[in-house]
Amino acid sequence: MITSAANYVSGLANPTRFLNAVAFVLPWMVGITGVLFAVGLFMSFQAPEDYQQGMTVRIMFIHVPSAWLAMMCYTVMAVSAIGTLVWRHPLADVSAKAAAPIGAAFTFLALVTGSLWGKPMWGTWWVWDARLTSVFVLFLMYLGLIALYRAMDDPARAARVSAIVILVGYINIPIIKFSVDWWNTLHQPASVIRLDGPTIHASMLYPLLVMALAFTMLFFTLHLMAMRNEIWRRRVASLRRQAARSVQPS
């Protein structure tokens, strides 16, 4: 079974086979994402208000999934970067390049919703503490990688350079995760992913988990669509080169 799964994954290195697989799974993923968001939003607004934070606690149901996705997206890019440098998988670079704008959007959301939650709870929109600053650095890294991909005409060179930058930048992910433990921050410590289990009451934990699942499905759906667009973009470039060669006098 493991061998057949491995064969299937390696078979997806063929872009045409990958595009066929995407065409098959995409409608299902769009449907599941829509259902998860409908259920998650319903549960989020049914959840009780916090005794201290009041209704602002509802910002948690979009802020926390955005922040998780911001880090998960970079992890997907780091795995793709390894795929580019070690296995030279044809789709690894496509995956990393397609993920960068999506990761930037989720990081932007984490920063904006965090600021909108921070103002009524902390009394300030922003503070340069370790957690907020490291997430802001992550946002800048996403923007830098998008610029890097656009700055180079040769896709193979852009893939190698970007992969190295992505892997070097991955050091920021554990810094984000553990910043609240290593330094004094205004941001609260982890309350869901902890060794001793979540500290959030079930009435708020379940809506949060459903919303996190919805955001994750949204990420994978958009990632597959963006990967398909990138494959088509490279195919168009290749066909144009082929057409230009065919009209050149020999």
Q: Which residues bind another protein (CB under 8 A)?
A: 16, 54-56, 58-59, 62-63, 66, 101-102, 105, 108-109, 112-113, 116-117, 119-120, 218, 222, 225-226, 228-229, 232-233, 235-236, 238-240, 242-243
Give me the DSSP letters along 84-110. Answer: IIII--HHHHHHHHHHHHHHHHHHHHH
Residue 225 CB, nearest distance to another protein (Å)?
5
Cα 10 from Cα 1, distance rounded (Å): 14
Q: Compute the distance between CA of residue 184 and CA of residue 189 in angstroms, rounded to an integer.
A: 10
Which residue, 98 or 175, is less far from another protein as judged by CB?
Answer: 98
Which residue lies nearer to another protein by CB, 96 or 175? 96
Decide whether 89 or 228 has the Cβ nearer to another protein.
228
User: Taking the C-alpha atoms of 117, 118, 123 and 126 in order, what is their torsion angle to the nearest 10 degrees?
Assistant: -140
For residue 233, the minimal CB distance to another protein (Å) is: 6
Nearer to another protein by C-beta: 171 or 243?
243
Q: How far is the CB of 211 from another protein (least distance, A)?
A: 10
Min dist CB 224 to another protein, Å, is: 10
- Contact present, 170 and 179 (Cβ < 8 Å): no
| 20/42 Cα distance (integer angstroms) | 34
CA distances from 145 to 68, 104, 129, 136, 174 (A): 19, 10, 24, 14, 19
What's the min distance (Å) between Cβ of 221 and another protein?
9
Nearer to another protein, 201 or 235 (CB): 235
Q: What minimum distance in Å lies between the beta carbon of 144 and another protein?
A: 19
Between 138 and 175, name the residue whose CB sits nearer to another protein: 138
* Closer residue to another protein in complex, CB, 162/221: 221
CB of 108 to another protein, least distance (A): 6
CB 55 within 8 A of CB 243: no
